[in-house]
């Protein structure tokens, strides 16, 4: 949770009361305030009560304000370190930024997404998915638009080590193949916001058919996540200049790489041979014995 507490607060705003909303907006407006303010000082600043601040912290999953304060402090420290690394005052892209500044800000945002995703991963959950993939008869990988690129990347990786895995960007084909899954199969759905209707629909069909349903998303209470048996969370905040998925895609690809390595480790057998065979085939070299 510490890895992306500010994003968690941002997502919570629509469901908060007016008083709790003031607490959230104050923290998001200047997270450094929380580092220095005691609970009674923050309550006065937000024109609310101590109990409201405590209730706000607990609604996010923290035991109380002290734990929330520590998490925000860590997030602030990480953000400041990231900005200092690239000599930036902030990482928000402005209309008038020069090319070198745009490059530095994009790099900072994407490094931040990878770090937060890696730090936020739950090891036992990751290994549950890796073991299921190793044991699966077949793995369906779902994703639309930018998330389709991540789905294709995972499918390509798994196929190259001999796993039976498929991905179709056609939502109707994805839906029909999902209906054929059984308890021996795994379905993995990729969606940054977790609300892509075509992905959610095929995901639920495969889950209802018996497949272990794994969601890769950044929103833990999204429709996709709530429909899943297992959730692997990414952490990425897109720029206001988001013309395409950027940080979210990088976070997804990092998570897929981590999952793939764990799959290889859990297989307990060499993958050099299938990797070499697929490489030779792609290069047009003769396949031994054929």
Q: Give the per-residue pLDDT at 237.
A: 65
Q: What is the CATH number of the domain that holds 19?
A: 1.10.10.10
The backbone region for 168, taken as left when phi is positive above 0, alpha when psi lies in -120 to 50, beta otherwise, is beta
| Dist CA 82 CA 141 (whole Å) | 33
Q: Flag whether 114 is in a domain.
A: no
Average pLDDT per 10 consecutive residues for the chain, totaling 290 residues: 70 87 90 88 92 93 91 79 67 79 83 86 95 97 94 95 94 94 97 94 97 94 95 76 68 96 86 73 66
The last residue of one of the domains, among 38, 66, 85, is 85
* Of residues 166, 171, 226, the one with CA closest to residue 198: 171
Q: Give the per-residue pLDDT at 191.
A: 95
The last residue of one of the domains, among 26, 57, 85, is 85
Q: What is the CATH number of the domain that holds 183?
A: 3.40.50.10490
The last residue of one of the domains, among 32, 62, 85, is 85
| Dist CA 183 CA 175 (whole Å) | 17
How many folded domains does the chain comprise?
Answer: 2
Could you tell me if 140 and 262 lie in one domain? Answer: yes
CA dihedral 233, 239, 241, 244 (to 10 degrees): -20
Across the beta sheet with 230-233, what order do the strands follow? 165-166, 139-142, 186-190, 212-217, 230-233
At how many degrees (to 10) do helices 247-267 and 99-120 cross?
40
Could you tell me if 15 and 144 lie in one domain? Answer: no
Q: Flag whether 56 is in a domain.
A: yes
Q: Flag whether 103 is in a domain.
A: no
| Dist CA 24 CA 80 (whole Å) | 20
CB-count exposure of residue 290 (10 Å: 0-12, 13-18, 19+): exposed
Helix, coil or strand: residue 232: strand
At how many degrees (to 10) do helices 247-267 and 123-135 cross?
60
Could you tell me if 65 and 127 lie in one domain? Answer: no
Q: Flag whether 118 is in a domain.
A: no
Contact between 228 and 213 (Cβ < 8 Å): yes
Secondary element (H or E) of residue 187 = strand 186-190
Secondary element (H or E) of residue 78 = helix 65-85
Contact between 247 and 112 (Cβ < 8 Å): yes
Q: Which residues form the domain of 245?
A: 123-279
Q: Give the per-residue pLDDT at 142.
A: 98
Could you tell me if 29 and 164 lie in one domain? Answer: no
Could you tell me if 190 and 73 lie in one domain? Answer: no
Q: What is the DSSP string of 204-229?
A: HHHHHTTPEEEEEES-TTSHHHHH-S
Q: 169-214 pLDDT, tens per residue?
A: 999 999 999 999 999 999 999 999 999 999 999 999 999 999 999 9
């Amino acid at each position: 949770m510490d890895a992306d507490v500010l994003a968690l607060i941002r997502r919570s705003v629509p469901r908060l009361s007016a008083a709790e909303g003031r607490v959230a907006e104050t923290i998001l407006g200047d997270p450094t305030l929380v580092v220095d303010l005691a609970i009674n000082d923050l309550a006065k600043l937000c024109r609310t009560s101590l109990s409201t601040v405590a209730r706000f912290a607990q609604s996010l999953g923290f035991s109380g304000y002290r734990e929330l304060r520590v998490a925000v402090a860590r997030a602030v420290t990480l953000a400041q370190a990231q900005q200092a690394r690239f000599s930036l005052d902030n990482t928000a892209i402005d209309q008038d930024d020069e090319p070198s500044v745009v490059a530095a800000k994009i790099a900072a945002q994407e490094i931040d997404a990878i770090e937060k995703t890696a730090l936020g991963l739950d090891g036992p959950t990751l290994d549950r998915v890796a073991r299921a993939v190793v044991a699966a008869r077949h793995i369906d990988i779902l994703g639309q638009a930018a998330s389709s690129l991540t789905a294709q990347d995972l499918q390509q990786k798994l196929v190259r080590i001999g796993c039976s895995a498929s991905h179709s960007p056609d939502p109707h084909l994805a839906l029909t193949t999902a209906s054929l899954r059984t308890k021996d199969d795994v379905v993995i759905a990729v969606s940054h916001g977790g609300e892509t209707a075509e992905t959610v629909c095929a995901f639920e069909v495969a889950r209802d058919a018996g497949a272990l349903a794994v969601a890769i998303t950044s929103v833990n209470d999204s429709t996709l996540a709530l429909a899943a048996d297992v959730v692997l969370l990414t952490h990425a905040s897109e720029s206001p200049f988001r013309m395409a998925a950027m940080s979210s895609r990088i976070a997804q690809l990092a998570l897929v790489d981590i999952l793939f390595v764990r799959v290889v480790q859990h297989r307990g057998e060499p993958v050099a041979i299938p990797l070499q065979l697929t490489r030779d085939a792609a290069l047009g070299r003769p396949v031994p014995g054929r």
